[in-house]
Amino acid sequence: MDARGLAAQEKVPASRKLGRDVATEMLAEASTLHVAKGKKLSSFKGEALRSDEAVAAMLGPTGNLRAPTLRVGKTLIVGFNEELFEDLFS
């Protein structure tokens, strides 16, 4: 993020567990969700954004919100993928 001139407005320590309820709240305020799991990318918009599949994509195997999670305006980005970051922030 530093390389792109982006700064975090809020950092949440890993010891604070954020689960399904927080993911659902975040989606309620979003218009787009991008999820990166390795090289696999998924995007959700409209009705798909309110689905159980979208919430599940945001959570890791322990049921906690995956990192990093970024909120840029009404866009949520969960996970890291270099190509996705290039597309969104360049």
Percentage with pLDDT > 90 across the chain: 60
Q: Where in the chain are the domains? A: 16-89
Helix or strand or coil: residue 9? coil
The runs of H, that is alpha helices, within the chain are 20-28, 52-58, 82-89
Q: Which of 12-21, 44-53, 58-67 has the lowest mean pLDDT?
A: 12-21
| Model confidence pLDDT, tens digit, residues 5-45 | 667 777 777 778 889 999 999 999 999 999 999 889 999 99
Percentage with pLDDT > 70 across the chain: 93
Q: What's this model's pTM, rounded to 2 decimal places?
A: 0.86
